[in-house]
């Protein structure tokens, strides 16, 4: 593998990335999309990553995926950072859009806490594909800026496929924000030296988005789902916001991503 990467780095990484990319889609097609299939795909991706490093005479420690205390603590730290990031972004969007929060009296705390385990497999799949072996090798061969540009675009395409956004130009435009998500997660990996950190940030953000806060789709007087802690209510959805208002909303999201990325980049790099 090392010889192939040295001789044909672009072609080799492309084929490897396609293989990583295909794993969750193949098993979702066979077994349907559910957490059990997701965990199976995540384990298979981890084994594939370990095998590739083993062919090079290395181990998963190249991604900081070991049980050393200096690496493990980045997982809970990342979850806290991810939750904090989403809360800061939500607060900024609340001020911009006039969103209000109310406590969900019907909240099921067991279901909310269990959301961590439901989302964990999906986060691991994305991190192993987009910030794992292929990304690290792209950094080695092309440098950080080029590798980030390539994998940020691929991360956008992944979400276009996952959300079936093709042809829905509004949704496709909105999902461009995931490129800034890649920048945040890749910076967390490069500065900490372990994939646990971006996994934690990614997981904390997604959990906060799906289980801590959720928009009420039925109206403020309807009984909300018990799988969320806080219900978000906002302006009358029949009032379409202006293009300028939408652009400002995107700018707030970009600024929040860049702010947290900058803070992590200033983190003393782990040697």
Summarize pLDDT for 190-239 with one digit per residue, the tens.
Answer: 999 999 999 999 999 999 999 999 876 455 445 557 889 999 887 654 45
In this prediction, residue 175 carries a pLDDT of 87
Pairwise CA distance, residues 260 & 178, whole Å: 14
Residues 6+ apart with CB under 8 A from 49: 60, 63, 128, 132, 133
Backbone angles phi, psi at 73, to 5 degrees: -70, -15
Measured CA distances, 152 to 164, 199, 221, 238 (Å): 18, 16, 40, 34
The percentage of the chain sitting over the pLDDT mark of 90, rounded to a whole number, equals 64
- Helix, strand and coil percent figures for the chain, each rounded to 5: 70, 5, 25
pLDDT for 238 equals 46
What pTM value is reported for the model?
0.92
The answer to whether the beta carbons of residues 81 and 75 sit under 8 Å apart is no
User: In the prediction, which pLDDT does 220 show?
Assistant: 47
Whole-number pLDDT of residue 37: 92
Contact 197, 207 (CB under 8 A): no
């Amino acid at each position: 593998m090392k010889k192939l990467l040295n001789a044909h780095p672009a072609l080799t990484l492309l084929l490897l990335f396609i293989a990583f990319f295909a794993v969750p889609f193949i098993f979702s097609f066979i077994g349907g999309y559910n957490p059990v299939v997701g965990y199976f795909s995540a384990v298979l991706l981890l084994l594939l990553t370990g095998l590739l490093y083993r062919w090079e005479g290395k181990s998963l420690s190249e991604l900081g995926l070991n049980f050393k205390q200096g690496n493990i603590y980045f997982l809970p730290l990342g979850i806290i950072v991810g939750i904090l990031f989403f809360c800061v972004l939500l607060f900024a969007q609340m001020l911009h859009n006039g969103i209000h929060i109310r406590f969900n009296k019907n909240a099921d705390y067991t279901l909310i806490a269990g959301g961590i385990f439901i989302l964990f497999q999906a986060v691991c799949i994305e991190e192993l594909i987009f910030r794992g072996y292929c990304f690290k090798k792209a950094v080695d061969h092309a440098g950080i800026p080029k590798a980030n540009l390539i994998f940020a675009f691929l991360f956008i395409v992944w979400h276009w496929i996952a959300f079936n956004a093709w042809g829905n130009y509004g949704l496709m435009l909105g999902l461009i924000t995931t490129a800034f998500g890649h920048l945040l997660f890749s910076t967390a990996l490069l500065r900490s030296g372990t994939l646990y950190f971006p996994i934690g940030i990614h997981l904390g953000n997604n959990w906060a988005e799906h289980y801590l806060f959720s928009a009420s789709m039925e109206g403020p007087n309807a009984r909300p789902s018990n799988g969320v802690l806080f219900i978000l209510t906002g302006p009358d959805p029949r009032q379409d916001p202006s293009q300028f208002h939408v652009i400002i909303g995107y700018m707030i999201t970009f600024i929040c991503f860049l702010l947290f990325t900058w803070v992590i980049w200033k983190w003393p790099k782990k040697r």
